[in-house]
A and B are shown apart, each in its own frame.
Chain A
Amino acid sequence: SSLFVAPHLLILKTCGTTLNLLGLHRIIEIAREYCGLTNIWRCFYSRKSFFFPDRQQGPHKDWRDEVKFLDGIFGTAGSAYTVGPMNRDHWLLSFNLSLLHVPSSPTISSKTRLRYHDTTLEILMSHLSPAGRAPFFLPEESSGSGVGGGSVASSSSVGGHELGRRISSELGIDGIFPGAKLDSFGFDPCGYSANAVVGTGGPSTSPEVPGGGYFTIHVTPEEGWSYASFECNVPLPNKSTDDRPDLSSLIQNVVSIFQPNRLSITLFVSTPSSASVPNGDASTVLTAASEAENQAWRSFGADLLGADFVRKDRIGYEFDGYDLVFACFEKRG
């Protein structure tokens, strides 16, 4: 699980039976108490279909309960979607574009809004191959007892951070974005998590992709419910450079590391909300957004992952303020 905190953005990504949404009330309180941030601009909640929904607790027992929980905070202006095949790997999304406590809501300046431009890639992978799962198990001589998808090691001879570092190096995770500050952890008896922050770029970074970001990886390698996720908001160039891969290269690299048999890919691209951007700035943002979306649509072509994979779906959504491209692939045979 991971928490990312930027000046006006918080991302909480949690797995297992965690109570993710129950933290939202406190997040809102903290933002107000410590930072004077009283207005939520937009809120997203998404997840893939659970492997074991009966084990979930609180509002996470059912998608309708999760949406109802969010509606209780934001009102019923939000929208909830199911994307992808319902009988296989569907993906669920709820988002709210709103300003809470509107009476004190300041106007967001156009320059600030431009800086809120956001592109987020998520690759959700399951049914990892045996070779793809193997590196994420603690070596037998180091493992403590226990079952399940990973606890914080206390009996292992190798510390969790050191194990994470070894895994990251062995698999090339530390090279996905050269120069990134990587923080990874190997769990006992299995499992892996990594966060990385990517700088705004040195002199060699293409001027077309200014800005840094993060990526995060979580892996549950056990046979039968193996799963790996990769999420990233680092701006990508149209063509790979020494510092950064382009979109297709990044996806291909991630898939080659985790070797899934099934995966879904989503790319979110922010666009100007119809109610919020003056015309002068909208054209600038729209151009960047539509380019990113078009590139994603092309990148998610049937040949993205080569002849070993078949693309099952490719879907485009246009929301107010965001465009989404979704695709899922399965390995042949």
Chain B
Amino acid sequence: LSSPGPFEGPEKLLEVWFAPSPEELPLSQGHDAGNGAGSSSSATAATTVNGSGRSYRGPTPGGQGELKGLRRVPREVWEEMLDIVKCKVLSVVEGEEIDAYLLSE
């Protein structure tokens, strides 16, 4: 993971927004699925998990700890994607609405 010579500080920033899946959309007009980024519908307590060991919490409909959308993806799957990018996960913070992965490099 060491980087010999000058290190490039300026980052590449990729931001991808997905539309809700058909299953998340309202069955009737006027009823909203409530899964948008910025929604406060998933009020899970913030927890920190350092190093390895964040377990996959699958969807439990109606449950308090239900994770939605991309947050349901297991850490190992993101790690596989990050291998392509050449980054490793150092730690993870889970917030009410967003998960934050701190990476090497």
Contacts and interface: CB of A to CB of B under 8 A. Distances in A.
Nearest to B78: A3
Contacts of B90: 152, 160-161, 185, 193
Contacts of B92: 183
Interface residues of A, number: 109
Given A5-B73, A99-B19, A220 B9 contact: yes
Given A147-B4, A150-B3, A196-B93, A124 B70 contact: no
A4 interface: yes
Contacts, number: 345
Contact of B72 (A34, A151, A214): A34
B6 interface: yes
Contact of A4 (B8, B36, B85, B99): B99
B22 interface: yes
B6 A112 contact: no
Given A106-B19, A109-B33, A1 B105 contact: yes
Contact of A220 (B7, B77, B100, B103): B7
Contacts of B98: 4-6, 9, 197, 212-214
A195 B102 contact: yes
A-side binding surface: helix, strand, loop or mixed? mixed
A218 B87 CA distance: 14
Contact of A149 (B3, B35, B36, B37): B3
A24 interface: yes
Contacts of A35: 18, 21, 69-70, 72-73
B75 to A, nearest CB: 10
B48 A181 contact: yes
B15 to A, nearest CB: 4
30 contacts: A1-B87, A1-B104, A2-B100, A5-B71, A6-B69, A7-B70, A12-B14, A13-B11, A14-B11, A15-B11, A15-B12, A22-B84, A35-B70, A37-B19, A40-B16, A41-B19, A43-B15, A44-B15, A45-B13, A107-B25, A116-B36, A150-B7, A151-B104, A161-B50, A181-B48, A194-B102, A220-B8, A225-B6, A228-B9, A229-B10
Interface of A: 1-24, 26-28, 30-31, 34-52, 55-56, 60, 99, 104-109, 111-118, 122, 124, 126, 146-152, 160-161, 181-185, 191, 193-200, 210-214, 216, 218-220, 222, 224-229, 231
